[in-house]
């Protein structure tokens, strides 16, 4: 669960957000709508930690995480959708790529097998199969 309490952000005299209170609960899908320039992307950057807010708190439940993909329509054209989604969690993506590299080897050694088993455990622990 993500809880936003009294979050505010101003740029000089201009207040972009003031005392925002939201609760994102598990199992629900949320959309943020508004006119161009209303601050939708900035709000998401605040949630991800990319932009610092002036006041208030953002709480992410223990064991949960926020994954982010940059807003660039052309950055992921060469990737499959599933791979793009996993890229939102860089640590998981790095584990996936290293796993794939080991399994693609023609001369798979015992050390490769040990490393692959470590990576499989990490991949599972980080929710890779559910991603």
Same-domain pairing of 28 and 13: yes
pLDDT category at 114 given cuts 50, 70, 90 is very high
Same-domain pairing of 17 and 44: yes
Q: The pTM is what?
A: 0.59
Same-domain pairing of 12 and 72: no
Residue 13 or 94, more confident? 94
Task: Write down the pLDDT at residue 34.
Answer: 86
d(CA 29, CA 36): 22
- Residue range 93-112: mean pLDDT, rounded: 94
Q: Is residue 69 scored above 80 in pLDDT? A: no
Same-domain pairing of 74 and 56: no
Same-domain pairing of 56 and 84: no
Same-domain pairing of 106 and 76: yes
Do residues 1 and 25 lie in contact, with contact meaning Cβ atoms separated by under 8 Å? yes
Same-domain pairing of 93 and 128: yes
d(CA 16, CA 38): 8
**How many beta carbons lie within 10 A of that of residue 113, not counting itself?**
11
Same-domain pairing of 86 and 129: yes
Domain that holds residue 97: 67-131
Tally of structural domains, the chain: 2
- Express each pLDDT in 26-47 by its tens digit: 888 888 888 888 888 888 889 8
**Residue 99, both tokens:** 């796993």
* CB-based contacts of 101-108 (< 8 A; 24+ apart in sequence): none
Do residues 30 and 24 lie in contact, with contact meaning Cβ atoms separated by under 8 Å? yes
């Amino acid at each position: 669960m993500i809880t936003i309490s009294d979050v505010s952000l101003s740029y000089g005299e201009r207040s972009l957000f003031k005392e925002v209170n939201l609760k994102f609960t598990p199992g629900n899908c949320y959309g943020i709508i508004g006119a161009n320039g209303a601050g939708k992307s900035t709000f998401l950057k605040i949630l991800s930690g990319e932009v610092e807010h002036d006041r208030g708190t953002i709480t992410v439940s223990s064991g949960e995480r926020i994954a982010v993909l940059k807003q660039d329509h052309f950055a992921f054209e060469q990737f499959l959708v599933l791979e793009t989604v996993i890229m939102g969690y860089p640590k998981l993506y790095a584990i996936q790529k290293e796993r794939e590299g080991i399994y693609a080897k023609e001369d798979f050694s015992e050390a490769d097998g040990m490393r692959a088993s470590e990576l499989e455990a990490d991949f599972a622990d980080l929710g890779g199969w559910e991603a």
